[in-house]
Structure 1
Amino acid sequence: MRLYACLGWLAVLLLSGCTDPYLPDIIKTPPSYLVVDGFINIQGVSTVKLTQAYAIASAKAPPVEAKATVYIEEDGGPRYVLREAPVGTYTSAALALNPTKKYRLHLNTQAGKEYASDYVPAKLTPPIDNLSWRVDNAELNILVDAHDATNATRYYRWEFEETWEIRPAYSTSLEYINHAMKARAVPFPSACWGTEGSKTVQIDKTTSLTQDVVSNHRLRVLPANTERLFTRYSILARQLALTKEEYAYWDLLRKNTESIGTLFDPQPAQLTGNVHCLSNPAEPVLGFVGAHSVMEKRLFIARADLPRTMSVLSGYEKCVPPDFIDLYPKIFMPPSPAEIMEIAFSQPDYLPVGEVYGSANDVVGYDAAPRDCVDCRTRGSAVKPSFW
């Protein structure tokens, strides 16, 4: 959502029909408008991130809004406090709210500004019927099916989180330490796991259909050359039922983030959410806070499940073959073996991966590779996910 908010801020400020390729000063240094990223989970934990709008060209993370007082309000009912942890992220306890009531988010910043979203009706999200995959034109498509027998949902949104297993190109039992080659005291992990959340807006509606049924919505497309499918892959889909107004917000956000391209593309439109500054009604606020339950479903895909016609890459193709560090090069006045090892392995990001023996069964050199080829923690976490 932070990416969406940043692009949404750009959409607010870009002038329709502008063709000059430059960023005005106001975009380079935007005002500190609040960005509210999250929703009210009526059957679970609500998480809301508060940040400030930031320059579209900035390489830094958006500044967070810390030490705010944040709570959920039921229309005519109680409040539910959200606690800050980590900084800028506010989380509620697990709640079971009344689905017949309306709710809003209310917050006060440390600077004394007061904000609130509109009261919105709570929506109960139907279950995900099926999460499946198929290969079309060397691409793997993740598909989602859902329906609401009461015809009460009609507007759907999905988020997803991908996890994939990473196996490094090489393992090693050696390390160069204190100017000597020794047995490695702490081995590198044999596997790691990469994780990434969805970065595109995934929505669908069934208003033109007689029945409230979503069939084969394409949630994710994975190309054949992705390393995510090389060993084992998992995707967790989250489904949310939206109101008509919330769907319109996400649809406009989708158009703004996906259609900014050529002069002939639809021009960015101003993104108006449902969060307002009560202290200063003229101040823009970015974000839409809905209230709904969340339904989840997880899918696993092993490499052995893929058709043989679909080839995938490991991501370590540049690591093969390993380098060879020759301790006895045939050159005039070569350095000593100790000097060669010092030159080759004194840098922590270049590692020995195995001994190379000569005809006399003596070590004549070492196979070696960059750390990225050996230590999978450069690409993911060595902590095995609980669902793996």
Structure 2
Amino acid sequence: MKLSIFKKIVFVLFSTGLISSCTEQYVFQNQNFNEALVVEATLTNEMKYQEVKLSRTISINDSLGSTEVGATVSIIDNNGTEFNFDEGESKYVSQNEFKAEPNKEYQLKIITASGKIYLSNKEKLTTESTIDLETSVIDKEGEKGVQINVKSSDPTNTSKFYRYEYEETYKIKTIFEIVKPNTSICYSTYYSKEIIQTNTNDRSTDQVNYPIRFIGRSDYKLTNRYTILVTQYVQNRAAYEYYSTLKKMSETGNLLSLNQPGFAIGNIKSVTNPPEKVVGFFDVASVSKKRIFFNHTDLFPTEQPANYFMNCKAILVSNTTNSFGYNILKTHVILGTDYKGTYVVEKECADCTTFASNIKPSFWID
């Protein structure tokens, strides 16, 4: 299951400070408390079922917290149109597909099962800006590999603030094959785990050429076939600064432990109890997505790719019915037998379904 970035930054160590934005000050405090409502909500310009995630951290040692159940969730625009959400599994989903539209204001409203009311600031959709992806072969810190850059241009010069996420999928072909069908070809997907941002606020033109991903040429991800989907969110200044401060709370690109005594206050307030702290930010952002595919030979036509992501070597087991044979079959699979005994290999070398999916993704192009 993909763990959201907000789940990783609910609690972080950060001394009291202020961030100024063009609309409001967002405070990051460090204090003791019994619980905090955590809101994950990004309304986009995509026509789809929009989602809101609510959870509540019960104590400082509760790293993931519990899903907030029984809440009434809605988004209201400045014309009075109310988009209602139904409670689903671990999230609230809009009853109908809708999208954020330009020149309208949107406000998130939450009423918990206990009757507490929470409202966000009114937010407007940001400028739409399409993206493209470009690959190039470079040397980075002594390693040769492929650099993937996000490129975009806004002729209105009003986008300015950008946040990115990506998901990458690669094809796996096992070194060995076993009798069990559909175990030699799989697909593995990874998601970006850090807050990725850039801005053009100090430039005369709103043009982005941002290096979002570097992969070394010997990385197995490139061996068979690789694809990356990049999502760009155009943020307003307040949302950008909120995420930017969360990013600064991280260590070398990895978010700090959730078990630290701090939390972040965004643009969502408690109407019922104004001093109550609420974690999260209601973001209304225009979205652009781009996917590309490539093979190792496309970028490194004269160089051999990695054979596999681990060393694979079959071993001979004379007896699989004794304690040694029984234990080794917990981590190995049988390749075959002959008069000498049974040949086994680590599961990852012959059965990719032990760590990946053998179902070809719907977006996959060979």
Give distance in 2, aligned partners of 1:232 and 1:161. 14
Matched, 1:190 2:181: no
Tell whether the 8 Å contact from 1:4 to 1:253 is kept in structure 2 after alignment. Answer: no
Which amino acid is the alignment partner of residue 120 of structure 2?
S
Tell whether the 8 Å contact from 1:224 to 1:310 is kept in structure 2 after alignment. Answer: no
State the Cα distance separating 1:39 from its structure 2 match: 0.5
Change (3 A) 1:81 1:15: closer
Matched, 1:353 2:357: no
1:259-289 Cα distance to aligned partner (Å, 9 max, x none): 699xxxxxx9973311112221111111111
Change (3 A) 1:212 1:346: closer
Change (3 A) 1:228 1:346: closer
State the Cα distance separating 1:343 from its structure 2 match: 3.7
State the Cα distance separating 1:107 from its structure 2 match: 1.3
Q: Which residue of 2 aligns with 1:7?
A: 9
Matched, 1:164 2:157: no
Change (3 A) 1:133 1:282: farther
Change (3 A) 1:227 1:260: closer
Give distance in 1, aligned partners of 2:92 and 2:307. 37
Change (3 A) 1:101 1:301: same
Identity, in percent, stands at: 26
State the Cα distance separating 1:238 from its structure 2 match: 0.7
User: Any unmatched runs of 5+ in structure 1?
Assistant: 17-25, 174-185, 262-267, 328-337, 357-362
Which amino acid is the alignment partner of residue 191 of structure 1?
I
Matched, 1:302 2:277: no
Q: Which residue of 2 aligns with 1:372?
A: 348
Tell whether the 8 Å contact from 1:156 to 1:203 is kept in structure 2 after alignment. Answer: yes
Give distance in 2, aligned partners of 1:30 and 1:162. 38
Give distance in 2, aligned partners of 1:260 and 1:384. 31
Aligned with residue 314 of structure 2, among 322, 328, 339: 322
Aligned with residue 38 of structure 2, among 35, 39, 46: 35
Which amino acid is the alignment partner of residue 323 of structure 1?
I
1:193-252 Cα distance to aligned partner (Å, 9 max, x none): 11122111111111211111112x011233455332222211101111111111111111
Matched, 1:231 2:224: yes
Q: Which moved more, 1:363-372 or 1:241-250?
A: 363-372
Aligned with residue 198 of structure 2, among 195, 200, 204: 204
Give distance in 1, aligned partners of 2:291 and 2:263. 35
Give distance in 2, aligned partners of 1:313 and 1:93. 48
Tell whether the 8 Å contact from 1:43 to 1:294 is kept in structure 2 after alignment. Answer: yes
SS at match of 1:304: helix
Give distance in 2, aligned partners of 1:67 and 1:313. 51
Which is richer in helix? 1
Tell whether the 8 Å contact from 1:325 to 1:344 is kept in structure 2 after alignment. Answer: no
TM-score between both structures, scaled by the size of structure 2: 0.81
Aligned with residue 213 of structure 1, among 184, 192, 207: 207
Q: Which residue of 2 aligns with 1:111?
A: 114
Aligned with residue 49 of structure 1, among 42, 46, 53: 53
Tell whether the 8 Å contact from 1:40 to 1:72 is kept in structure 2 after alignment. Answer: no
Aligned with residue 154 of structure 2, among 137, 140, 148: 148
Give distance in 1, aligned partners of 2:307 and 2:52. 37
Give distance in 1, aligned partners of 2:276 and 2:323. 63
TM-score between both structures, scaled by the size of structure 1: 0.77
Give distance in 1, aligned partners of 2:196 and 2:361. 25
Give distance in 1, aligned partners of 2:16 and 2:200. 33
Which amino acid is the alignment partner of residue 177 of structure 2?
S
Q: Which residue of 1 aligns with 2:75?
A: 72
Give distance in 1, aligned partners of 2:219 and 2:64. 27
Change (3 A) 1:3 1:155: closer
Change (3 A) 1:194 1:61: farther
Which is richer in strand? 2
| Structure of higher CA gyration radius | 1
Aligned with residue 94 of structure 1, among 64, 83, 97: 97
Change (3 A) 1:49 1:349: same
Aligned residues: 339
Give distance in 2, aligned partners of 1:150 and 1:354. 66
Change (3 A) 1:343 1:367: closer
Q: Which residue of 2 aligns with 1:333?
A: none
Tell whether the 8 Å contact from 1:142 to 1:219 is kept in structure 2 after alignment. Answer: yes
Tell whether the 8 Å contact from 1:256 to 1:269 is kept in structure 2 after alignment. Answer: no
